[in-house]
Amino acid sequence: MAAPLPRLEDLPDLDGARVLVRAELNAPLADGRVTDDLRITTTLPTVGWLRARGAAVVLAAHLGRPKGEVRPEFTLAPVAARLGELLGTDVPMAPSAIGGETTSMVASLDPGDVMLLENLRFHPGEEANDPAFATNLVAPFDLFVNEAFGASHRAHASIVGPPRALPSAAGLLLQREVEVLGGLLDAPEHPFVAILGGSKVSDKLGVIDALLTKCDTILVGGAMAFTFLAAQGYPIGDSLLEVDRIEDCRRLLATGRVEVPVDVVIAREIAADAEVRIVAAPSIPEGWKGLDVGPETAAHFADRIAPARTVLWNGPMGVFEVPPFASGTRAVAEAVVGCPGFTVIGGGDSAAAARQMGLADRIDHVSTGGGASLELLELGDLPGLEALRLGRDA
């Protein structure tokens, strides 16, 4: 792993400082209210740490994909409201991430105040990593904290720009993410078992190659498993297939450390009332698609996980949101929480599944960044982390 990140304790002159905190507040909304506040609550320890030392805290974040346009359905106003409820204080929201009114609002803050900027992605300069946008963004501030691990694999203006202009540090959550995920690569206890699922094997090829240098076993489920089955010459019916990745899957299977389903749950459609069958993995008929690992596979995977001293899980075993196809994911989740080792969920849908099943609080670390966690494991660094280390020398 790369050199250590600057910590909050390294920041100068916090008393009376105005601190820009890039947070990951991309929370799901319904009817103008936050329906899952995990990304908000995980930011609060850093906010509290800064406020306790006399800083005024201004949070900057994105929501959805407005593509550089002001779109009311992507306003962060519901997030500001939920922040206020959690903090027990008023959290005003600036009308824009930059501009004169925003600068005046920041200047008027007292020590301990908290404010939120409107959606960064309302400005095309954010995703374009426009230096002028970054300069305008940091202008009212004294210090910068990156607490957006889930966005730190993006070289966006609010991620990589502020450390070039301001004394900067990693937030408590980002620091923990890097320590835990880095530890999986630097010094994992063995046996080290990785469980990978999700839709596309192409999304996971890089991380599989990286994990094979550290892991004892990689268990593959989810829709990505069917490209591996096709690589073994098995018919996969109407299951998801990436034809251009078959040779990659053959190469990975040849290592002898990548294991795939031996039976699968199939249906003609993804529906709660669909006709469901359990078949051997080499026997998926035409017109049917694999939507979960079968019970024999789930039991085998659980046996592999049981003695593990390190476990990484990223990606569900099937379409867990639909009850007939949730059993495989539940079996894996229960095996992970029951094993004696250090357990990590790499964010994304597997984290959502663990929360849905009431098991997330029994996992040692649930990452807040699906794509970021995979990229860190694959490459050993992220643009946002590199920017923090380089700071104003960049």
Same domain, 151 and 239: no
Catalytic residue among 171, 290, 348, 384: 348
Give yes or no: 348 in active site. Answer: yes
DSSP secondary structure letter of residue 315: S
Cα dihedral 260/261/266/269 (nearest 10):
-30
8-state DSSP, 141: -
Provide the β-strand partners of residue 267.
276, 289
Whether residue 371 lies in the annotated active site: yes
**CA pseudo-torsion sign 279, 282, 286, 290:** positive
Return phi, psi of residue 113, to 5°.
-70, 155
- Of 101, 136, 171, the one marking the end of a domain is 171
| Torsions phi, psi for 292 (to 5 deg) | -165, 160
39 is catalytic: yes
Burial class of residue 29 (count of CB atoms within 10 Å of its CB; 0-12, 13-18, 19+): buried
pLDDT in tens, the chain (394 residues): 567 899 999 999 999 999 999 999 998 899 999 998 888 999 999 999 999 999 999 999 999 999 999 999 999 999 999 999 999 999 999 999 999 999 999 999 999 999 999 999 999 999 999 999 999 999 999 999 999 999 999 999 999 999 999 999 999 999 999 999 988 988 899 999 999 998 889 989 999 999 999 999 999 999 999 999 999 999 999 999 999 999 999 999 999 999 999 999 999 999 999 999 999 999 999 999 999 999 999 999 999 999 999 999 999 999 999 999 999 999 999 999 999 999 999 877 888 888 889 998 999 999 888 789 989 999 999 999 999 999 866 5
- Rounded Cα distance, 161 and 139, in Å: 12
Indicate which residue of 71, 200, 257, 309 is catalytic.
200
List the CATH number of the domain containing 217: 3.40.50.1260
| Domain that includes residue 277, residue range | 188-378
In whole angstroms, how far apart are CA 73 and each of 28, 33, 91, 128? 12, 11, 20, 22
Tell me, yes or no, whether 16 and 104 share the same domain. yes
Beta strands at 114-116 and 29-30: parallel, antiparallel or unpaired: unpaired
User: Do 202 and 257 reside in the same domain of the chain?
Assistant: yes
Both 265 and 159 in one domain: the answer is no
Question: Per DSSP, what are the bridge partners of residue 115?
Answer: 58
Which residue out of 68, 99, 206, 371 is catalytically annotated? 371
In a domain, 389, yes or no: no
Mapped onto helix, strand or coil, the DSSP state of residue 327 is helix
Are both 357 and 325 inside the same structural domain? yes
Selected catalytic residue, list 18, 39, 154, 330: 39
Residues 60 and 202 in one domain: no
Same domain, 133 and 230: no
- Indicate the pTM of the whole model: 0.90
Number of domains present in the structure of the chain:
2
Rounded to whole angstroms, the Cα distance separating 299 from 279 reads 15
- Do 350 and 220 belong together in one domain? yes
